[in-house]
Amino acid sequence: MSTEFEITDTLDVTGLNCPMPVVKTKQTVDGLAQNAILEVVASDPGSIPDIDGWAQSTAGVELLDQIEGDDVYKHYVRKAE
């Protein structure tokens, strides 16, 4: 995947462990405008499957990309509705 999109908001959840990255992501996405793209920066490796699973099971949310770095995980979520 490639990050060829315009990020409208960033959420830093570094230092938080499951389930908080997903909880904070949901809270933030709920307040975004339609088609906004949220970058979520996390330190919990479990955020990769957790945010993916949440996005797949949540209507109106699209996971655009996930990037694994050195102790940092970035997720790009679009609010579709």
Residue 50 annotated to the active site: no
* Residue 4 covered by a domain: no
Domain that holds residue 27: 9-79
Per the structure, how many domains does the chain have? 1
Query: What percent of the residues of the chain are helix, what percent strand, and what percent coil, each to the nearest 5?
Result: 25, 30, 45
Alpha-carbon distance of 45 to 58, in angstroms, equals 21
Per-residue pLDDT 10s for the chain (81 aa) are 445 789 999 999 999 999 999 999 999 999 999 999 999 999 999 999 999 999 999 999 999 999 999 899 999 999 997
Q: Give the domain CATH number at 72.
A: 3.30.110.40
**Given 3, 5, 7, 18, the catalytic residue:** 18
CB 13 within 8 A of CB 42: yes
* Model pTM score: 0.92
